[in-house]
Amino acid sequence: MIDQLIDSIEKLQNPTVVGLDPRLGFIPGHIKEEAFDHHGKTLKGASKAFYQFNREIIDEIKDIVPAVKPQVAMYEQYGYEGIKAYMDTIEYAKDRGLIVIGDVKRGDIASTAKAYSDGHIGLADVEGEKIEVFKEDFITLSPYLGYDSIEPYVTDLNQRNKGLFILVKTSNPNSKEIQNLTVEGELLYERVAKLLKTWGEAAMGDLGYSRMGAVVGATHPEDAKRVRGILPNTFFLVPGYGAQGATAEDLIPNFNKGGKGAIINSSRGIIAAYKNEKYQKDFDSRDFAKAARAAALDMKKDLQRVMD
Ligand SMILES: O=C(O)c1cc(=O)[nH]c(=O)n1[C@@H]1O[C@H](COP(=O)(O)O)[C@@H](O)[C@H]1O
């Protein structure tokens, strides 16, 4: 899938992933009213509203961006109804040609990791019946349990052409408390990057990038420069642009030459654009998906300025 992601970015000339992180505060009144009329102010009502919101956004952006990244926490908070909305969103996006990065941030011992892999990127086994469950193309993982927590995913990566993005340097302000500690003369995230370089060799795609990518926050460009130095052939998922304050200029160290090797996430900045003053004069809440499209096109233009 890493090769397909690279091809799609190239074809659309757009290294953007739209983060599908819905919150009820972002859902326009008319969608909430309809969902709550049918299902009440219940977990099901909230989940149905999320799914309707996502579908309209997907329809508006599917021809201009290569991928979406649903954040499972937003759905999981509403229990199994929320998880259904997460799964339905994945299916809807894939049916419309989008690549799906499931932001699930797992990390556990090998025997448990195998179950995560089976459920998310592999096949669940029901007494010999093999069933595809969540169907994401990529998922996000934490590296802090070491390689035996990553290795169970490798078979699915290679045999089922799936992908991982492993946290190397996260975008949040306090990431430095742990990730920038000096360990045996190097920063901890540098050590993680070096490990990922070795781990990734077990899952190389055809276009020179591993199926094991890295998550590198846009908000720490100096750290991103160091990570890129260690990982020239690793694909980066870069969150932090927009709502978290990173600018297009901050993204530069994440890219290889010609704007290659990275995909930039924006969630709130796109899906809630209709609430932003900049778009409010042209779009009302019924046009929220059109505002998302306008914001995604503006982001594309902004990235293209710095991608040479
Ligand atoms: O793995 C991620 O995607 C991630 C890693 C990271 O370091 N920082 C980060 O913000 N994210 C996710 O990226 C999204 C950012 O959302 P916005 O800040 O609204 O664009 C959220 O879904 C976060 O969970």
Distance 187 CA to ligand 1 centre (A): 22
Entry pTM: 0.98
**Whether residue 308 has pLDDT greater than 90:** no
Q: Is 219 in the pocket of ligand 1 (CB under 6 A)?
A: no
* Nearest protein CA to atom 24 of ligand 1, as residue: 71
Look up residue 214 and give its two tokens.
Answer: 């890295």
Number of Cβ within a 10 Å radius of residue 110: 14
Catalytic residue of the set 32, 48, 62, 105:
105
Enclosing H/E stretch for 215? strand 212-216
Any idea where the domains of the chain sit in the sequence?
2-306
**263 pLDDT exceeds 80?**
yes
Distance CA 182, CA 240 (A): 24
Asked if residue 171 has its Cβ within 6 Å of ligand 1, the reply is: yes
Q: In angstroms, what is the span from residue 115 Cα to ligand 1's centroid?
A: 24
Q: At what angle do helices 43-61 and 288-306 cross, to 10 degrees?
A: 50
Q: Contact, 214 vs 227, CB < 8 A?
A: yes
| Confidence tier at 278 by pLDDT (50, 70, 90) | very high
pLDDT (tens digit, 9 = 90+) per residue, 122-178? Answer: 999 999 999 999 999 999 999 999 999 999 999 999 999 999 999 999 999 999 999
Q: Which 8-state DSSP code applies to residue 252?
A: G
Question: Percent of the chain scored above 70 by pLDDT?
Answer: 100
179 lines ligand 1 (CB under 6 A): no
Average of pLDDT values for 276-284?
A: 95
Task: Work out the average pLDDT over 55-84.
Answer: 98
What average pLDDT does this structure show over 290-295? 98
Please tell me the distance from the alpha carbon of residue 60 to that of residue 227, in angstroms, as a whole number: 34
What tens digit of pLDDT does each residue of 178-202 get?
Answer: 999 999 999 999 999 999 999 999 9
What does the pLDDT look like over 91-102, one tens digit per residue? 999 999 999 999
Q: What is the pLDDT of residues 23-46, one digit of tens each?
A: 999 999 999 999 999 999 999 999
Distance 266 CA to ligand 1 centre (A): 8
**What kind of architecture, by CATH, is found in domain 2-306?**
Alpha-Beta Barrel (3.20)
Average pLDDT, the chain: 97
Cα–Cα distances in angstroms (integers) from residue 109 to residues 117, 135, 215, in the given order: 12, 22, 21
The whole-number pLDDT of residue 307 equals 86
215 lines ligand 1 (CB under 6 A): yes
Looking from the CA of residue 21, the nearest atom of ligand 1 is 22
Which two structure tokens, joined as six digits, stand for 117? 């892999």
Which atom of ligand 1 approaches the CA of 241 most closely? 20
Q: How far apart are the first and last CA of the chain?
A: 25
Catalytic residue check, 105: yes
